[in-house]
Each structure stands twice: as structure tokens, then as C-alpha cells.
């Protein structure tokens, strides 16, 4: 397998964690999202992923999967141990809801594309862009904090898709200096996951393309 990744992409970070948890190896192909206007926009990468985003996972068959949650659920179905979704349908829906709150509600507002648009097209200065970033993190973390059941992971004593999505979002929040004092459960889950090699190895600073 080949994983098209960028060390700072939280979506790629999710997939790296999932691959590690499953004990799967892949060739890492860095796609820098900022250099030369974004290497993801070059024709070579567009041929791999028409959406021109990371991650993309090329399977040994040659098929390419995009969108981190779709990739992770594929990996979970093809390599079911350890499972990343609970067997119980109700619990599975709760885990998926938390993962989607991060991947669909928080992350898109703070992704590279909208931040660039705020800066270059709408002429916002960095102070206002940072305020935008902080606002949507805090707005999104409030309900997450209420929904978590840390024991020690997001939904009990087994890592799930919720943890896989939460940890990269916490890393982004810390990188942008978002205060997390109001979210002790989120911080506790992140600390529990940090003790696991699968999460540690996937951290942005531990990637070969880290700067």
C-alpha cells in the first residue's frame, strides 16, 4: 500500500494511527500542502486523487481510496482486529457521531483551504484568522467534552474511531495554542492515547517529511 500523506494533516494523521493500530505497513509518499502553492494541486497528484487532498491510500490492487473516515472504515472491515467500531449498533452510532463531529464539523472550517481563502481572498490578517481557528475549536470541543466517557479512552477501555479522530484534532488545537483548560475529559483521553505506540509513531513530528 501507498499512503499519500502530509505530516501536519490531521486527516492523514488519523489514517496513520489506524494503520499502526492494525499493524499494517505502507509506503509513505509526502505531499506538501504549502510548498510551490501546494504539491497536492500538481497534475501528478490530481491523477491519484481528483479532490487533490490528503490522505489517499493506494491499495496493492491499484485502487485508490480517499477521505480518511472511508479509508479507516475500509481498513476496519478488511482487517477487523483490533476493531475500531463497537459491535453494539447503538455504541457504534455514538462512536461514529463523535468521529464525524470532528471530521465533518470542526476540521473543515480550520483546514488549509479555508484558512488560505480567509487570508488571500478575504484579506484577513493573521490575528483574525487565529481567532477564527480558536472559535471553531472551542465551539466544537464543548459538545465533545459532554459526550466523552473516558475510561481511559473516548468510549471505554478500547480504542475506537473516536480516539483516532480526537487525538489529531487535539494536536492541532495545541499547535495553534487553543486553551484546553475547559476540556479535562478531552485532555485525559489524549493523554491515555499518547501512551500507545500506534499513536506516538503517527505523530506529525515523527514523520519523515516533518519540518
State the DSSP code for 26.
-
Do both 6 and 72 map to the same domain? yes
Grid coordinates in use for 202? 503517527
Strand order in the sheet with 27-30: 27-30, 2-5, 56-58, 64-66
Same domain, 109 and 72: no
Alpha helix segments (H runs only) across 68-196 = 68-78, 89-100, 112-116, 126-147, 161-175, 184-194
Phi, psi of 65 (to 5 degrees): -105, 140
**Partners of residue 150 on adjacent β-strands:** 156
**Residues 180 and 97 occupy one common structural domain:** yes
Same domain? For 33 and 103 the reply is: no
Cell of 154: 473516548
The answer to whether residue 211 is domain-embedded is no
**CATH number of the domain to which 118 belongs:** 1.20.1050.10
What rounded mean pLDDT belongs to the chain? 96
Instruction: Based on the fold, state whether residues 78 and 119 are members of the same structural domain.
Output: no
Looking at the structure, do residues 139 and 162 belong to the same domain, yes or no? yes
Q: Is residue 206 part of a domain?
A: no
Instruction: Please check whether residue 204 lies inside any domain of the structure.
Output: no
Of residues 3 and 34, more confidence is placed in 3
Structural domain harbouring 137: 89-199
Give me the mean pLDDT over the 8-24 stretch.
98
Confidence of residue 116 (pLDDT cuts 50, 70, 90): confident
The pLDDT of residue 112 is: 85
pLDDT at 122: 93
Q: Are residues 73 and 93 in the same domain?
A: no
Co-location of 59 and 147 in the same domain = no
pLDDT in the model for residue 51: 96
Domain count, the chain: 2
User: Do residues 152 and 188 touch, judged by C-beta distance below 8 A?
Assistant: yes
Same domain, 64 and 122: no
- 113 confidence band (pLDDT: 50, 70, 90): confident
At residue 37 the predicted structure's pLDDT band, cuts being 50, 70 and 90, is confident
* Residue 15, domain member (yes or no): yes
My answer on whether 63 and 117 are in the same domain is no
Whether the pTM exceeds 0.85: the reply is: yes
Tens-digit pLDDT profile for residues 135-166: 999 999 999 999 999 899 999 999 999 999 99
Any domain includes 209? no
CATH number at residue 32: 3.40.30.10
pLDDT tens digits, 65-84: 999 999 999 999 999 999 99
Asked if residue 208 belongs to a domain, the reply is: no
Query: Which residues pair with residue 64 across a beta bridge?
Result: 58
94 and 76 in one domain? no
The string of pLDDT tens digits covering residues 169-184 is 999 999 999 999 999 9
Question: Strand 155-156 to strand 149-150: parallel, antiparallel, or no bridges (unpaired)?
Answer: parallel
Whether 110 and 161 map to the same domain: the answer is yes
Residue finishing a domain among 22, 55, 82? 82
pLDDT band for position 7 (cuts 50, 70, 90): very high
- How large a percentage of the chain has pLDDT more than 90? 93
Amino acid at each position: 500500500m501507498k499512503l499519500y500523506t502530509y505530516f501536519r494533516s490531521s486527516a492523514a494523521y488519523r489514517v496513520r494511527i489506524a494503520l499502526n493500530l492494525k499493524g499494517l505497513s505502507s509506503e509513505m509518499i509526502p505531499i506538501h500542502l504549502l510548498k510551490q502553492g501546494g504539491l497536492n494541486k500538481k497534475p501528478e497528484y490530481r491523477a491519484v486523487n481528483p479532490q487533490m487532498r490528503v490522505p489517499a491510500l493506494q491499495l496493492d490492487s491499484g485502487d485508490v481510496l480517499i477521505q480518511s473516515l472511508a479509508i479507516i472504515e475500509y481498513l476496519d472491515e478488511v482487517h477487523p482486529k483490533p476493531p475500531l467500531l463497537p459491535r453494539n449498533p447503538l455504541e457504534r452510532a455514538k462512536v461514529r457521531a463523535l468521529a464525524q463531529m470532528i471530521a465533518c464539523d470542526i476540521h473543515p472550517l480550520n483546514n488549509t483551504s479555508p484558512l488560505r481563502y480567509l487570508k488571500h481572498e478575504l484579506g484577513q490578517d493573521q490575528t483574525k484568522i487565529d481567532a477564527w481557528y480558536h472559535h471553531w475549536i472551542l465551539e466544537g470541543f464543548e459538545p465533545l467534552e459532554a459526550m466523552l466517557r473516558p475510561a481511559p479512552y473516548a468510549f471505554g477501555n478500547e480504542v475506537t474511531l473516536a480516539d483516532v479522530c480526537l487525538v489529531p484534532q487535539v494536536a492541532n488545537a495545541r499547535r495553534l495554542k487553543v486553551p484546553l483548560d475547559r476540556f479535562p475529559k478531552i485532555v485525559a483521553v489524549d493523554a491515555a492515547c499518547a501512551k500507545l505506540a500506534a499513536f506516538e509513531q503517527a505523530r506529525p513530528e515523527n514523520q519523515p517529511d516533518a519540518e
